[in-house]
A and B are shown apart, each in its own frame.
Chain A
Amino acid sequence: MKRMIAGAALALMSLTGAAVAEEYPERPLMMMVSYGAGGATDFQARIVTMTAGNEDALGMPIAIINKPGAGGRVGWNWFATQADPDGYTLAAYNVPHFIAQSIKGGVEYSTDSFEPIANWGADPAVFVVGADSEFNSMEDVVAFAKENPGKLTVSGAGLFVGHHIAALQIDKAAGTKMAYIPTKGGGAAAMKAVIAGEVMGGINNLSDAFRAQEAGNVKILGVADLERNAFLPDVPTMMEQGLDVDNSSVNFRGVMVPKGTPPEVIEKLAATVPEMFANSRVAKKMEAGGSPMHIMIRDEVIEMWAQRQQTLNELLAGL
């Protein structure tokens, strides 16, 4: 009897190594979202993972758990230091947020702590003003900012998030100095400040701004991206309006695992997850919610992270 158990144990041990990739995943997975339930990241994460249980995807469901706090730092700190690198613990990333935070310090992660799997969405930052504002283009905004240095109040979701990066880039490109007002409570609070007229303008997510414009509350003056967005074909990019602002502030959302996850597991995930995102049911729900999709495979994401790291290092060096 003893020998049989020992034999079985041995057999199991030898199995675990080779068979990881084939058997994986054999139980449900967990995905950590470092923002609260109801936020844009949480909402999208739930949609893009809803087909994980299908046979042609992972064959196992993905459960979302939220670890919100401190602009995402709490969740990512936890993920870098305490999550098991066994392939069953995934997390959602937000670029440029976590990269900018790691450059500013005080956190226990950097791009080296994580292995990207795939990207699902890209939400560019846009410049919004109240519906009755006198500004009708970025030119008006820049002209005002030049005449009144430090007087143009612009709200955004916090320091060192995409919105702030976009504000810094606009300042750099136009040679202006706007008063960036970070709000507590994310993009919704920043948008409220614009609609209520507490600030003169704001930088916000394209998806939220699109909704607010549909409701007749704001005007969108420019998109901080390389090309116009399908949701807003009439709104020109910053580049078109003569401001040298690239896509560094675009909020990329995707899936990652901790460093140290077995390579065969990463390979399997990197092959399956983009397919899962491409599912037509997912695309329909994302479109309905006004969330722009942008699927990128692992190699593209690795490159994108490296690029961001470099741009942000330069941009944030002087702050």
Chain B
Amino acid sequence: MEFIYYFGEVFTPLSFMLLLGGTIGGLILGATPGLSPTMAVALLIPFTFQLEAAQGLILLGAAYTSTVAGGAVSAILLKIPGAPANIATTLDGHTMAKQGQGARALQLSFLASAVGGIFGVLLLIFLTPVLAKWALAFGPSHLFWLAILGVTVIGTLDSASVVKGLLSGCIGLWLATIGFDDIMGAQRFIFHPALGGGINIIAALIGLFAIPQVLTMFAKGRQTDGAEVIEVQRHSILAAFRELFSRTRALSIGTLTGSIIGLIPGVGGQIAGLVAYDQTKKFSSEKEKFGTGHSEGVIAAESANNAMVGPSLVPLLTLSIPGSPTAAVLLGGLLIHGIFPGSDLFDNHPDVAWTFINSMLIGQVLMCIFGLYVAGLAARVAQVPQSVMAAIVLALSVFGAYSVQGSMGDVYVMACLGIGMFFLERFGFSAAPLVLGLILGPIAEANFIQGGMIADATVGKASYFMTGGLNLFLIAVVLASIAYSVWMELRHRRYTTKEEAQA
């Protein structure tokens, strides 16, 4: 209960101003395509040079929590996921926005974010020592199986058929091999120097999601004005509250999945949203509604990606190991003030540690309030005529891809992937499984190679990958997931043939 003692620190005038500024700034940065949470935090580091350690961290912590949530704004309204965390949000969120329910989608996403986020930070406060052991339990063999578990999700994720889902997942896995292989340094499929570092995931996200949509809008051509304008429904915050808490299944699955997956170093943040979305879909009684603007999808995805924020800091704060790129940037923010995360942080600088954690808790609430405030206004974006919208989304896409690392190469990558995806979508393929392949490929590969090398030196590959409680558990989950997909596909086929027979 030590943390309560330090709540006062958060409410000193300067600290609170920083918290407010970090939250609002974070929302704006998060909503800007191409600015991922990692970059937003890195951009703010120089400002913390002049501040006290605790105040600097308040700014960074607030920015981290609100950029993750802010990413939902562009994901819902423009179908540009700001970071991998927001991919799953586009699936139902953007469809809702197109139906004029943008306000509802945004309200639900911010409320779900706050619930997930607060749960995640509470885990960080109360269970840090236990969680730290958990984070270390995942070695290369377990991360490999976890990535394979992600691959089994590919088939059922947002596609017309399992086969097409798997095919686009394979394209993603192939794209992931491009570039210098990080472990061996071998060159693969590098046709142009811009591809040397591989396909940048943010540039790929923008290309795969936003560009096909821009092309579709242009392809429709100039239509008679007015016919296309969507009526944006107003939606009261109270109703959003009620809806959120009537969808307890989505909310709890999202929050728990996000917290557990967020804990695992190196994997968490990127796939928390997608895994939570998929699990919610599997347990839902209204499976067929997912992907057509179903609120459960938005709630699961957004509660998961904010729930991950707190646990993702556990390895950093307790073991001094940054588990994610964003945590690495935060580590820099601590080091510059001469504070070493680990026991030093909690024993000798409890004021810094707890003020930082408390500010993330308050930050979640502030983020939610401001988010709800702008939701109604922002949803009017849907009223912009399509021809204008296409131009704006295109400009934002180019800007976003370029700003990732100031390189035109990323813009070309974005454009090529986008045009390719436009044609793939014509044939019923979808971008989400492709991106999942792109994210999971390197995780599976690197951990397999690394685990294989350890295994060869010690117990041999078979026993390294196939024995041990956690390995067996993960393998069992993988098998269950495959069996479920096959069963669903078969059942689905029987139904369709019956219907066809009746017709």
Complex interface: chain B residues within 8 A of A215 (CB)? 319-320, 340-344
Measured CA separation A193–B143 after assembly (Å): 13
Of A182, A195, A211, A288, which contacts B450 at CB under 8 A?
A: A182
B419 to chain A minimum Cβ distance, whole angstroms, is: 23
Of B45, B137, B179, B182, which contacts A184 at CB under 8 A?
A: B182
- Judging by beta carbons under 8 Å apart, are A288 and B338 in contact? yes
Complex interface: chain A residues within 8 A of B335 (CB)? 43, 288-291
- Judging by beta carbons under 8 Å apart, are B179 and A181 in contact? no
Measured CA separation A212–B319 after assembly (Å): 7
Measured CA separation A288–B49 after assembly (Å): 13
Complex interface: chain B residues within 8 A of A39 (CB)? 328
Measured CA separation A66–B337 after assembly (Å): 22
Measured CA separation A261–B338 after assembly (Å): 37
* Known contacts A38-B322, A70-B180, A216-B343; A192 and B315 CB within 8 A of each other: yes
A171 to chain B minimum Cβ distance, whole angstroms, is: 14
* Known contacts A198-B140, A212-B320, A290-B335; A217 and B342 CB within 8 A of each other: yes
Complex interface: chain A residues within 8 A of B343 (CB)? 214-216
In B454-472, the 8 Å CB interface with A consists of 454, 456-458
* Known contacts A184-B182, A188-B328, A192-B315; A214 and B457 CB within 8 A of each other: no
Q: Is B496 an interface position by the 8 A CB rule?
A: no
Complex interface: chain A residues within 8 A of B216 (CB)? none
Measured CA separation A157–B202 after assembly (Å): 24
- Judging by beta carbons under 8 Å apart, are B450 and A181 in contact? yes
Complex interface: chain B residues within 8 A of A151 (CB)? 457-458
- Judging by beta carbons under 8 Å apart, are B457 and A78 in contact? no
Complex interface: chain A residues within 8 A of B325 (CB)? 36-38
28 contacts between A and B (CB under 8 A): A36-B325, A37-B39, A37-B328, A38-B326, A38-B328, A38-B331, A38-B332, A39-B328, A43-B332, A43-B336, A50-B46, A73-B196, A74-B180, A106-B187, A153-B453, A153-B454, A153-B458, A160-B185, A182-B184, A182-B450, A184-B183, A184-B442, A192-B265, A192-B315, A192-B319, A211-B340, A214-B342, A290-B335
A residues contacting B by CB (< 8 A) are 36-39, 42-43, 46-47, 50, 65-71, 73-74, 77-78, 81, 101, 104, 106, 150-153, 158-160, 179, 181-185, 188-189, 191-193, 195-196, 198-199, 211-212, 214-217, 285, 287-291
Which 9 residue pairs spanning A and B have beta carbons closest together? A69-B197, A215-B342, A288-B338, A70-B180, A38-B328, A179-B457, A38-B329, A37-B42, A74-B197
Known: A70-B180, A183-B450, A215-B341. 8 other contacts (CB 8 A): A37-B325, A69-B180, A73-B197, A179-B456, A181-B454, A184-B442, A198-B139, A215-B340
